[in-house]
Structure 1
């Protein structure tokens, strides 16, 4: 089947599905190629409808530690997309979500002393990416979520998709949720067809194929906010600049080599903190439950991290940590000083 016929089939399906129920739709957007192709298909289909009876929320989760090149791209893009949508009176709302203050990465690491995430202790994805979107859509009894997931990306991905596939061609159920349906308009697209979709579909005009291509050319890489099941992000994917789950952050390294020099200090910080978290001289000898074992990062260690982070923030000219996070961090330090559950030696 040609890509034109394949996309026409998907667009026809979207129009039929949109008219079925009153429930709003939610599209998880990362800025990457798959979510961009999905948005192009949804937008193109909705433009062909005669009336709109529900909203379509396009959601980007800003974890607070996003690669700043990607997050700035999405912030600028959402501003353009919302203006384009409003000019045409379409039912889209482009919304940026953030984790709760207590769940922010640096609040956890510098405020509470969490070691940065590993494959064994990956505490970040749920708190930073999944919960903000779940909290946004949980008020609905049932929901229709649009994700850019595809078959034939990997054997592990195929096993997950096949486990949750429903009888209808493009639909899947979400793990542990009987009321949430996942719709992937590009489920049967291959990589080349994804790029052909981005290039061939005119709308939305603000979603520029050349811009997306440039980002991929410079970095190569996407990390989803709403998942079928626990899925790792890393290895040649856009994600958090602080990610210590992967051994090397290839996307930032590639961006630096392609002229994004302002990321260099951040990349060095990421490599430094990956080693610092295992430095026993800055780790408590007791856990918070009283068990004698490697515990949180010590107060002294957390001060070292904060000082280094603020220095890099100044040098890079990126906003890496908000004032409200710093204020909470100081509060958490004072609580630990007074807590009987906190013991360093």
Structure 2
């Protein structure tokens, strides 16, 4: 008998794409059937986008039964890289073709957003050790608040909470029902996340190969014990993610999704050999900035109308007002 391979050990035989998808299908069929209502947590990044578009493809093709209701929560941090933000807009427009899906865009309250919290309240920027407050505050907490509102009783005669569309009778979430939250968590996406998975992947008897299924997740008020989570692409390697985003998902037979732009935002072909990640614009946790577009700088490209001889920003200049009057520079005056 051939010994069973460990999917995550360095010597393991790598899953081919079809096998990875089959495990995802098995995961969704097993755990999805336990919940009438599904939610998908979508950040706009490569893993959550692959999860979102793959789940919808599997439902549309009948490989996975369609739930009674499906809500997509997009976490808009207002700090996303422009290519990812634009790709998210395109994908949301495509999601509108599914009348049975609710789309929710969630953001943190203005006073809790990244730069406001730092510059307005004086909180130190987050770091990778003892002060990692940003993900929770601008992604997790707003999403938990939106889910809690959706799990509250909804008036089907009008709009749902926070302006969201009301569910019809067939899609109502009962007060005693649980919801399956589908995430794009993937083994190998980051060392910190891998350590959290190792500590919890055996909880509740779940098997990593069938998705990381967790009972009773967020401790937020109003949703305690009502949300179970599933990571159906936990076992995917980064090459599977790139294949889905660049080859399969954009093809009409798989949904014709605008996912190539997302793959390119991570570095295109060069990123395919790496477990590439992106962060927020100006992220203080990044050790190296890989998001800046340096081509124009290297080519010494100047703004329209400039010649390159203009003074730099560190050169003191006289103040020139709109009416043409000039206030001479006072520095160095007697």
Normalised by the size of structure 1, how large is the TM-score?
Answer: 0.59
Q: Which residue of 1 aligns with 2:81?
A: 67
Secondary structure of the corresponding residue to residue 138 of structure 1 = helix
After superposition, the Cα gap between the structure-2 partners of 1:96 and 1:212, relative to the gap in structure 1 and judged at 3 Å, is same
Give structure 1 regions of 4+ aligned residues with deviation exceeding 6 angstroms: none
> CA separation in 1, counterparts of 2:44 and 2:54?
15
CA drift of 1:246 comes to 2.9
Give runs of aligned pairs for residues 131-150 of structure 1, distance below 5 A.
131-139=141-149, 140=151, 142-150=178-186
Gaps of 5+ in 2: 1-14, 152-176, 303-334
After superposition, the Cα gap between the structure-2 partners of 1:243 and 1:8, relative to the gap in structure 1 and judged at 3 Å, is same
Task: Tell whether the 8 Å contact from 1:12 to 1:45 is kept in structure 2 after alignment.
Answer: no
Q: Which residue of 2 aligns with 1:81?
A: 95
> CA separation in 1, counterparts of 2:132 and 2:269?
24
What does the per-residue CA deviation read over 1:278-326, in whole Å, with 9 as the maximum and x for residues that have no partner? Answer: xxxxxxxxxxxxxxxxxxxxxxxxxxxxxxxxxxxxxxxxxxxxxxxxx
CA RMSD of aligned residues (A): 3.5
* Worse-matched range after superposition: 144-153 or 196-205: 196-205
Task: Tell whether the 8 Å contact from 1:11 to 1:44 is kept in structure 2 after alignment.
Answer: no
CA drift of 1:133 comes to 0.6
After superposition, the Cα gap between the structure-2 partners of 1:53 and 1:241, relative to the gap in structure 1 and judged at 3 Å, is closer
> CA separation in 1, counterparts of 2:105 and 2:120?
25
Secondary structure of the corresponding residue to residue 66 of structure 1 = coil
Task: Tell whether the 8 Å contact from 1:25 to 1:146 is kept in structure 2 after alignment.
Answer: yes
What does the per-residue CA deviation read over 1:135-177, in whole Å, with 9 as the maximum and x for residues that have no partner? Answer: 1113546332111122244554333213222423313324766
Q: Which residue of 2 aligns with 1:162?
A: 198
- Out of 81, 90, 104, the residue aligned to residue 113 of structure 2 is 104
CA drift of 1:218 comes to 5.6
Which of these two proteins has the greater Rg computed from alpha carbons? 2
What does the per-residue CA deviation read over 1:9-49, in whole Å, with 9 as the maximum and x for residues that have no partner? Answer: 42244245434323x22212222221122123211221134
- Out of 255, 258, 264, the residue aligned to residue 205 of structure 1 is 255
After superposition, the Cα gap between the structure-2 partners of 1:204 and 1:111, relative to the gap in structure 1 and judged at 3 Å, is farther
Give runs of aligned pairs for residues 227-242 of structure 1, distance below 5 A.
237-242=277-282
Q: Which residue of 2 aligns with 1:45?
A: 58
After superposition, the Cα gap between the structure-2 partners of 1:192 and 1:69, relative to the gap in structure 1 and judged at 3 Å, is closer
- Out of 19, 32, 45, the residue aligned to residue 45 of structure 2 is 32
> CA separation in 2, counterparts of 1:200 and 1:208?
11
> CA separation in 2, counterparts of 1:191 and 1:53?
28
Secondary structure of the corresponding residue to residue 39 of structure 2 = strand
- Out of 19, 32, 40, the residue aligned to residue 18 of structure 1 is 32
After superposition, the Cα gap between the structure-2 partners of 1:18 and 1:123, relative to the gap in structure 1 and judged at 3 Å, is closer
1:127 equivalent to 2:137? Answer yes
After superposition, the Cα gap between the structure-2 partners of 1:136 and 1:157, relative to the gap in structure 1 and judged at 3 Å, is same
> CA separation in 2, counterparts of 1:161 and 1:57?
25
Give runs of aligned pairs for residues 173-322 of structure 1, distance below 5 A.
173=214, 174=217, 178-198=225-245, 199-200=247-248, 202=251, 205-217=255-267, 237-250=277-290, 252-253=291-292, 255-257=293-295
Normalised by the size of structure 2, how large is the TM-score?
Answer: 0.61
Task: Tell whether the 8 Å contact from 2:47 to 2:185 is kept in structure 1 after alignment.
Answer: yes
> CA separation in 1, counterparts of 2:114 and 2:185?
26
> CA separation in 1, counterparts of 2:25 and 2:35?
17
Task: Tell whether the 8 Å contact from 1:164 to 1:175 is kept in structure 2 after alignment.
Answer: no
Task: Tell whether the 8 Å contact from 2:90 to 2:258 is kept in structure 1 after alignment.
Answer: no
Gaps of 5+ in 1: 222-234, 265-345
